[in-house]
Amino acid sequence: MKLVRSVAGVREVLMAPREEAMRIGLVPTMGAFHEGHLTLFRSCAAECDVAVASLFVNPAQFGPGEDLERYPRGLDRDTHLAEEAGIDLLFAPGAEEIYPPGFQTAVEVGELGQVLEGASRPGHFRGVATVCLKLFNIVQPAVAYFGRKDAQQAAVIGTMLRDLNLPIELRVIPIVRDADGLALSSRNAYLQPDERRRALALPRALQAGLEACRAGGGTDAALAAAQRVLAVGDGIEVDYLAVADLDGPTLAGAIRVGSTRLIDNVLLDEEAT
């Protein structure tokens, strides 16, 4: 695996594969890799001739008072994990490589970016869409891989690909969960044992909503069932809980446990297994 820190370096490494019409896949990440990331990497490596991952903690998608400075980082560990999972090229630029002096262009996200996460974190999806468009232009992949845990992010990216006529296939990979049901997230590392126990209220609420929907109650019943579970949650603060169309009817929520903010969702029309 090659570790590259510059835009020019990425283009040089990918010149030959592109000339040979090889299928290039890209997995954009912010690092602190866990099994969710590794699942994306393995899918990319299995389906593409060249598997590329980016590792960039994007300051443009963090708001004031958020966890930019303490966001988990560990390049050596991440490099090792990416290579083991089949990544051929890891692009790990510094902030000035992506946002050089004088940078002033951004992608504005419309209605889809103003609800749920967009309402709680103004400007978040502007930062996400801008950095992803830059990464798409740098790597020029045939396919891009995102995790379903960030369902609204995936929907925003899909809309951008459509609206801007980008010839990139979007692959959204199902959520990976720990044995206790908590969706894997780099921010889970912040949780103390008691906080993790409390955080399980979110996946339990979403599962209750899914079961209510499958029992024939529809989306209103799903939302009500999830709300009942969160209402008796111990030591959690609910940021939002709502049903939205995120490439299908989706029950999505965000909670705070101590200083940690977690998101999760479930697709309500998903078939039972």
Residues with catalytic annotation? 37
Buried b (16+ CB within 10 A) or exposed e, 183-213: bbbbebebbeeebbebbbbbbbbbbbbbebb
- Other beta carbons within 10 angstroms of residue 162's beta carbon come to 10
How far apart (Å, rounded) are the C-alpha atoms in residues 65 and 69?
Answer: 10
CA dihedral 164→165→168→170, nearest 10 degrees, is: 70
- Assign residue 92 a region: left if phi > 0, alpha if psi is -120 to 50, beta otherwise? beta
Contact 238, 213 (CB under 8 A): no
How far apart (Å, rounded) are the C-alpha atoms in residues 179 and 177?
Answer: 6
* Tokens found for residue 244: 């939205």
* Tokens found for residue 160: 């951008």
How far apart (Å, rounded) are the C-alpha atoms in residues 131 and 28?
Answer: 9
